[in-house]
Structure 1
């Protein structure tokens, strides 16, 4: 699977699992995304896909790397719908 395709799938999952905030951006907690069965089946390396999407300015989150457990409450913000 190529990276652009995985980023597109990630956007779809964030739209499905997330919710619109007051500023109109879709947000989802990392823990919600990480623990979702569908995401687990789609993404072999979710953290790698998140980093690639952040690098392409499709999403944003605090820090460089998200780890399960430690960063479960970190918001992932969709910058491009």
Structure 2
């Protein structure tokens, strides 16, 4: 019987505390009434995409020995390659 009485007392205490908090009404404040507009983003001058890496320009080799011209016949070309 004492446990029922203690449970009822605790329930009454919790409900009265919750009821007291529920009667509080916060003041009416408009937080977002005067929000300044976002600044205008600058426009890019060139909208074309650019490559991430540009390889160096090709140039002829300087000096060295020139290669012999390959023979037009297939058999001789294979023999030259091997």
More helix by share: 1
Q: Which has the larger radius of gyration?
A: 2
**TM tier, shorter chain?**
under 0.3
Tell me which of the two structures has the higher relative contact order, counting C-alpha pairs closer than 8 angstroms and 6 or more residues apart: 1
Q: TM-score, normalised by structure 2?
A: 0.20
More strand by share: 1
Q: TM-score, normalised by structure 1?
A: 0.21
